[in-house]
Amino acid sequence: MKVGIDLLHFATANYYLGLDTFAAEKNIDVDKFYVGIGQEKMSIASPDEDIVSLAAKAAAPILQKINSSEISAVLFATESGVDQSKSAGVFLHGLLNLSNRCRVVEFKQACYAGAAALQMATALVKANPKEKILVIAADVAKYDLETSGEATQGCGAVAMLVTESPRILEIEPGSGYYTDDVMDFWRPNSRTTALVDGKYSTKVYLNSLKQVWEHFTESTGKSFTDIDYFCYHIPFTKMAEKAHQTLVRKAGVKLTQAQFEAQTLPGQLYNRIIGNSYSASLFISFISLLDNLTSNIENKRVSFFSYGSGCVAEFFTGVMQPGYQSVLMTEKHKAQIDKRTPLTYIQYLEFHQQMGASDENIVLNINNYGPYRLAGIKDHKRYYEKMDN
Ligand code: CAA
């Protein structure tokens, strides 16, 4: 039985900060960002946007195409949870009017949790083919001002419907995985911004890639040349480039520059202009690959490297299904990116200061264009609304 991703859609915020604006404000050569870390823009969440509103925007177009009462579980992966106890997925369940005959749970392990949720959804459907599982990976990547991480913020949510006989990608059995208790990036409960040991985190990321590759090749018998396209967790696109160079060296293969770029570049285009979205970034990379390739890649194999600081990593593969192009939502993705509004540096500072800063009573101004937004907080409870647009 084939199991995997049947439908796939992402959402990002309505605003972005250009790294040219950022560089000018900080008096830094913009090529440090355009070339050095490979980023152009960061999607910035307004105060009335969070992982729940982003997740609802990501999931709604999928639910319009199916009988949403059949969703049997929502597995919600995030680093930027909105409550220490209640799963963000339960807020989403209410907002999207899903069936009460559904289980909802939140997954956490920094940027890795989306891959964990996808693997567990696949296993659940294999155990019971009637299951239709909504996997969400959603994050707002937020660092303190004037820190090394500030230029690598962003936000986004990916919704994936996992079913038997999937129309987009069959997830293949077998993977390589790795855990090591390290402090490269973390966020104590009291903080809304992550702490990071930036340079160290890039080293741990690359070491984890080598470890999961060894495990993956040993446990599946597959080799580099069995894979056609490579998607990576992308905190910034230069990291994915370094990851692919590392994998090519590790696997002992020789590639021309054109082959190297063909395997990875289309899967970086969206991430370059959205920024980091932690648990969602690997899957935004996959969507970027599908939306930006000009050729049909039916029956081709795509690999996924998920890395979550702290750290847990996994390398797995999937096979593109015949006819997949007919169910892609490319136009919706492109329109959403194109209609974002640029922020001035001062507006960015205002959003940064307010976003997720407090759980005190507040009625939030409408900045988020919808169709879902965080309306306010009352008695420490978050209230979401659907807008008529
Ligand atoms: N023109 C071209 N290139 C330039 C340049 C210029 N004018 N100025 C600088 N550069 C290059 C540098 O040479 C450097 O290249 P290399 O990495 O190849 O050496 C690159 O631009 C970055 O410059 P710096 O090292 O000086 O940048 P920095 O000190 O500001 O930090 C960073 C970079 C550590 C990645 C920082 O952005 C950071 O802390 N980011 C957050 C942490 C992160 O994303 N880690 C990734 C791995 S962990 C993970 O993946 C989980 C997660 O999502 C967080």
Nearest atom within ligand 1 for CA of residue 28: 7
Q: Is 146 in the pocket of ligand 1 (CB under 6 A)?
A: no
**How confident is the model at residue 63, as a pLDDT?**
98
Whether 314 and 175 have beta carbons less than 8 Å apart is answered as: yes
pLDDT for residue 45: 98
pTM: 0.98
Residue 313 Cβ < 6 Å to ligand 1: no
Q: Which DSSP state fits 374? A: E
Stretches where the chain sits below pLDDT 70 are 389
CA 129/CA 10 separation, integer angstroms: 25
pLDDT of residue 355: 84
**DSSP label at 2?**
-
112 in ligand 1 pocket by Cβ < 6 Å? no
156: CB partners within 8 A, 6+ apart? 10, 11, 12, 13, 43, 54, 138, 139, 274, 277, 280, 281, 284
Identify which of 186, 202, 268, 278 to mutate to test ligand 1's pocket (most ligand atoms within 8 A of the CB).
Answer: 202
**Pocket test residue of 26, 152, 212, 233 for ligand 1, highest count of atoms within 8 A of CB:** 152
pLDDT in tens, 45-66: 999 999 999 999 999 999 999 9
- How confident is the model at residue 358, as a pLDDT? 82
CA angle 214, 220, 225 (to 5 degrees): 75
163 lines ligand 1 (CB under 6 A): no
Q: What is the pLDDT of residue 185?
A: 97
Ramachandran class of 113: left when φ > 0, alpha when ψ lies in -120 to 50, beta otherwise: alpha
Torsion of CA 56, 60, 62, 68, to 10 degrees: 100
pLDDT in the model for residue 357: 76
Atom 34 of ligand 1: nearest residue by CA position: 198
> How far is it, in rounded angstroms, from Cα 51 to Cα 155?
9
Spatial CB neighbours of 220, under 8 Å, sequence gap ≥ 6: 172, 174, 175, 176, 317
Radius of gyration of the chain (CA): 20
The residues annotated as belonging to the active site are 79, 111, 233
Residue nearest to atom 5 of ligand 1 (CA): 32
Phi, psi dihedral angles at 316 (to 5 degrees): -145, 175
Query: pLDDT tens-digit profile of 107-155?
Result: 999 999 999 999 999 999 999 999 999 999 999 999 999 999 999 999 9
Domains and CATH numbers, the chain: 3-386 (3.40.47.10)
